[in-house]
Amino acid sequence: MATSLPTHPRSGRNRPVTDPRAAALAMLDRVDRGKTTLDALLDDAAPMLAKLSRRDRALFNGLVYGVLRWRLRLDAVVAAYADRPLKKISPPILNILRIALFQILFMDRIPASAAVNTAVDLVRTRKAAKAAGFVNALLRNALREPGRFSIPDAQDSPVDHIAVAHAVPRWLASRWIRRMGLAQTDRLCAAINAIPPITLRCNRLKNELAELADALSDQAEAIEYVESIPGGANLIRPRRPIPEMQAFIDGRFSVQDGAAQLVSLMLSPRPGETVLDACAGLGGKTTHLAQIMGNRGAIVAMDSAEAKLTRLEDEARRLGVTIIRTRQADLNRPLPAGTLPRFDRILVDAPCSGLGVLRRNPDAKWSSQPADILRSAKRQARFLDHLAPLVKTNGVLVFAVCSMEPEENEDVIKTFLKKHANFAITGAPSIEEKTVLPFLGEDGFFRTAPHIDQMDGFFAARLARTR
């Protein structure tokens, strides 16, 4: 039974895993090392997981994401029954306890006895006989005496209540309670821990949404249109991995959250225009912009990571997009003069704390720190300063982040507008009212939130260069 994933999963020495719990333990151990994101680790380990059956892969995913969503809550349960402080429990043993308790507390279909027995088996594969006894005793005590654990009272200790009840870091619980109050924080945290929908973006270069829904009708339990997003739909309980679906292979759709789709609609590029996607990443918004433009015009996709741009080019080919060219650049420094033209529209989907997408990236709960927010805001301000000269007069710049924190949102834009008097917040007369306008506040800023809109938490501002 494998208990660790090799550092280089594509080397010939690696063997595919066949036990979903052992694979989940190995993945959680790697996440704890904090060197890379869960998404990157899952991509890296894909060949290792290929031998898991569909059912076992679902269990693997459920355990990994479930433990990361509920880690602080699970640790509070461990602390209530352990005979030693958490810091005295080795990280792999603590992860074994988390996996077992997640099954006991949150997974109805797995008998408690099976969760305990498989946890002890995982410990024994580590050749830790004493730890096996500790794990067995703790889990059985938790089953016999559930009353020893309780969630702190919301009125007596609101921060501890939110932190334990919803498994969010105390610093984040405190920050959100101060800003939005206990009730709204409770709703937000509950939404963050809910499994998010699989939202699709129909590629209208190849088909319409009704055609796509027909093509996917036997690939999932249901297809539900998202009324607030043109071409958006939720895929309900897919029956096979999305990359294996023929409609995906043929480039008929992409997977993209609704809030991210709305950001591209907010930029509202027109056919024939020149557009810069300044922080293109893997190209989700880049390819959407090309689709909005009817694949007519020119888009420069810029990012500091060459590997991401290579994947973006592959994605553009899958979708049949031909108007994108890529450029590697680091926006922390001014762009060399004369190397880029001025653009009709620029999208700055800036790097941020990512606190608006915790429901999709639960590992970020535990890697994020308060200092990340201000550090990100300073970087965002640099990016905007370096990009402002590239906007044509009467051109449009949209700044967007997947964060709901004010320092990364309106504070960044207000500071930018003080420094750049030739820019102003603008309405969007070319945007259909049924799409973006309902998400714009009286201040002209775009905001979405998981507990209000059933989308990721995004902020965006649409700025026009006036001279």
pLDDT computed for residue 430 by the predictor: 61
Instruction: Tell me, yes or no, whether 62 lies in a domain.
Output: no
Average pLDDT over residues 354-367: 97
CA 68/CA 358 separation, integer angstroms:
10
pLDDT of 11 higher than 50: no
Q: What is the pLDDT of residue 429?
A: 61
Distance CA 348, CA 335 (A): 15
pLDDT score at 13 = 37
Within 107-152, residue ranges assigned H as helices are: 112-125, 129-144
Domain extent, residue 330, equals 258-465
Choice among 189, 202, 279, 402 that is catalytic: 402
In a domain, 315, yes or no: yes
Verify that 233 and 307 share a domain, yes or no: no
Residues 275 and 338 in one domain: yes
Into how many domains does the chain fold?
3
Whole-angstrom distance, CA of residue 38 vs CA of residue 60: 13
Q: Average pLDDT for residues 52-76, to the nearest whole number? A: 96
The residue out of 236, 255, 274 marking a domain boundary is 255
Chain-centroid distance, C-alpha 85: 32
The pairing of beta strand 391-401 with beta strand 343-349? parallel
Q: Are residues 186 and 227 in the same domain?
A: no
In degrees and rounded to multiples of 5, residue 120 shows phi and psi of -65, -40
CA distance 178 to 403: 17
Please check whether residue 432 is in contact with residue 394, taking contact to mean a CB–CB distance below 8 angstroms. no
Q: What is the pLDDT of residues 212-249, one digit of tens each?
A: 999 999 999 999 999 999 999 999 999 988 999 999 99
Do 169 and 235 lie in one domain? The reply is no
Report yes or no on 283 lying in a domain: yes
% residues pLDDT > 70 (the chain): 95
269 and 249 housed in the same domain: no
Q: Is residue 423 part of a domain?
A: yes
Q: What is the pLDDT of residue 5?
A: 35
Tell me the mean pLDDT in the region 364-370.
96
Give me the pLDDT at residue 342, please: 95
* 223 lies in the same domain as 270: no
Q: Do 249 and 359 belong to one domain?
A: no
Q: Is residue 104 part of a domain?
A: no
Q: Is 8 part of a structural domain of the chain?
A: no
Does the predicted TM-score (pTM) go above 0.85? yes
DSSP string, 287-347: HHHHHHTTT-SEEEEEES-HHHHHHHHHHHHHHT--SEEEEE--TTSPPPTTSS--EEEEE
Residues 169 and 273 in one domain: no
What does the CA dihedral 138, 141, 147, 150 come to, rounded to 10 degrees?
10
Question: Angle at CA 56, nearest 5°, toward 308 and 355?
Answer: 40
The pLDDT of residue 12 is: 36
pLDDT above 90 for 84:
yes
Among 141, 168, 193, give the residue marking a domain's end. Answer: 193
HSE toward the beta carbon, residue 21, CA cutoff 13 A: 22
- Residue 402 falls in the annotated catalytic set: yes
The mean pLDDT value of the chain amounts to 93
Maximum CA pair distance of the chain?
Answer: 73
> For 451-462, what is each residue's pLDDT tens digit?
999 999 999 999
CB atoms near residue 361 (< 10 Å): 20
**pLDDT, mean of residues 146-162:** 96
The pLDDT value recorded for residue 47 is: 87
CATH number of the CATH domain containing 386: 3.40.50.150
Asked if 300 and 409 sit in the same domain, the reply is: yes
Does residue 210 sit within a domain?
A: yes
Tell me how far CA of residue 288 lies from CA of 204, 280, 282, 319, 443, in angstroms.
Answer: 10, 11, 12, 10, 26
CA distance 66 to 170: 19
Residues 206 and 276 in one domain: no
Question: What pLDDT band is residue 337 in, cutting at 50, 70 and 90?
Answer: confident
What is the distance between the alpha carbons of residues 17 and 25, in angstroms, rounded to a whole number?
A: 12
90 domain-assigned: no
- Specify the CATH number for the domain of residue 239: 3.30.70.1170
Same domain, 238 and 329: no
pLDDT band at residue 3 under the 50/70/90 scheme:
very low
Q: Give the domain-ending residue among 175, 193, 211.
A: 193
Work out the pLDDT band at 428, boundaries 50, 70, 90. low
CB-CB contact of 324 with 312 (8 Å): yes
Where residue 1 falls among pLDDT bands split at 50, 70, 90? very low
Q: How many other C-beta atoms can be found within 10 angstroms of the C-beta atom of residue 46?
A: 11
Are residue 184 and residue 333 in the same domain, yes or no?
A: no
**Beta strand extents in 159-244 (DSSP E only):** 198-202, 220-225, 232-238
